[in-house]
Amino acid sequence: MAFPFQLSTDAFRQFDRLAFVSRRPARAGTGGEHVSRRPAPSTDFVDYRPYQPGDDFRRVDWNVYGRLGSLQVKVTEGRERLDVLLVLDCSGSMAYGSPAKLEVGAQLIAALAYIGAARADTVRLTYLGNSPDVHRPFTRRRGLPGLVQQLSTLNSTGLVDLDTALGTCIASEVPRNSLAVVVSDLLTPGHAANGLDALRARVGDVVMVHALSPQELEPQLAGEVELVDAESGAMLELGVSAQTLAAYRVRLQRWLDVTEQDCLVRGMRYIRVRTDRPLGTLVMDDLRRGGLLR
């Protein structure tokens, strides 16, 4: 299914001051806004330190020497771009909910791409569907309108094996020390443990944004219902009672706990979001509290 995604990039202005938080050194080249972990020439002054034999005399602050009579060297820090890979799950289950998880996920991806472009990060996108596709990287905001248009025409693609998709979504040109942000409902037969292992082996820093609809968290069902699997088409006839819903909530919480633990034990950050929250709240509150943004 396709969905209407009418969102102007003007709506992203509230995110202008945000930046990604990476657990890995930025390595995508100079010119970005992330502090470098390597020595690099820069005009960004940080501090002074005493002169040591071998230091470049051009870095000595002679005004300080005139006042204090000691040689002090200016310390600066380099700024580098961060490699960011944004991954959106387009499986059939993502079409569920009001609003659809795929719609909210696409808005989150667009907002994160905007934040990356605003910081001159190198941003790539890939969609988990029948054929994962890594798009040409961009580093400037001028690519955002085309991206929003592309996201607005996305379709859910039916059955997706997340184990396989997560393991193959990292193309060879994506650097090992990239930050990968995956937006998915993580609904797949069994657990996606093998896919998470493969993803973590290919990328040094992974953040899992787990999207859940209010209809999944708080189902409003009663009586005899027929449930249809959004990906496989399998049907289940079920009599829903208060006891059925109570058992569902227990099993849901158990699954959420296991899913979160699967991510955490692999060194991944895990952020759970509700799709009925406004985009600004998701970005400014949930993603910042989860440590993805600052």
Identify whether residues 106 and 60 lie together within a single domain: no
Identify whether residues 276 and 163 lie together within a single domain: yes
Identify whether residues 98 and 208 lie together within a single domain: yes
Q: Which CATH number belongs to the domain containing residue 265 in this structure?
A: 3.40.50.410
- Domain assignment present for residue 266? The answer is yes
Identify whether residues 117 and 54 lie together within a single domain: no
- Domain assignment present for residue 283? The answer is yes
Identify whether residues 218 and 96 lie together within a single domain: yes
- Choose among 91, 140, 96, 143: nearest CA to 119: 140
- Domain assignment present for residue 96? The answer is yes
Identify whether residues 52 and 108 lie together within a single domain: no
- In this structure, what are the phi and psi dihedrals at residue 189, rounded to the nearest 5 degrees? -55, 125
3-state secondary structure of 288: helix
| pLDDT at residue 31, as a whole number | 45
For the ranges 30-39, 80-89, 201-210, 265-274, the lowest mean pLDDT is seen at: 30-39
**Mean pLDDT, the chain, as a whole number?**
84
Identify whether residues 121 and 53 lie together within a single domain: no
pLDDT of 35 > 80? The answer is no
| pLDDT at residue 32, as a whole number | 46
- Domain assignment present for residue 48? The answer is yes
Other CB atoms within a 10 A radius of the CB of residue 131 amount to: 9
Q: How many domains does the chain have?
A: 2
- Domain assignment present for residue 37? The answer is no
How confident is residue 260, by pLDDT bands cut at 50, 70 and 90?
Answer: very high
| Cβ atoms 207, 179 nearer than 8 A | yes
Beta strand 45-50 with 72-76: parallel, antiparallel or unpaired?
A: antiparallel
* Angle value at C-alpha 237, between 231 and 238, nearest 5 degrees: 110
Identify whether residues 54 and 139 lie together within a single domain: no
Amino acid at 276: D
For the ranges 93-97, 146-150, 206-210, the lowest mean pLDDT is seen at: 146-150
Instruction: Show the DSSP H helices in the chain as ranges.
Output: 62-68, 101-118, 144-152, 162-168, 193-202, 214-217, 242-264, 279-281, 288-289
Identify whether residues 194 and 93 lie together within a single domain: yes
Identify whether residues 90 and 220 lie together within a single domain: yes
Residue 228 burial by Cβ neighbours in a 10 Å radius (0-12, 13-18, 19+)? exposed
pLDDT digits (tens, 9 = 90+) for 262-283: 999 999 999 999 999 999 999 9
- Domain assignment present for residue 2? The answer is no
Max distance between CA atoms of the chain, in angstroms, equals: 87
- 231 versus 202: the higher-pLDDT residue is 202
pLDDT digits (tens, 9 = 90+) for 130-173: 555 666 787 777 778 888 888 888 888 878 888 888 888 877 77
C-alpha distances in Å from residue 188, one per residue of 130, 151, 232: 14, 23, 11
Amino acid at 261: Q
Q: How far is CA 291 from the centre of its chain?
A: 11
Identify whether residues 21 and 120 lie together within a single domain: yes
Identify whether residues 175 and 275 lie together within a single domain: yes
Q: How far is CA 229 from the centre of its chain?
A: 27
Return d(Cα 124, Cα 235) in angstroms, integer: 37
Other CB atoms within a 10 A radius of the CB of residue 272 amount to: 15
Q: Which of 76, 98, 133 is the last residue of a domain?
A: 76
pLDDT of 37 > 60? The answer is no
Domain residue limits at 60: 43-76
How confident is residue 38, by pLDDT bands cut at 50, 70 and 90?
Answer: very low
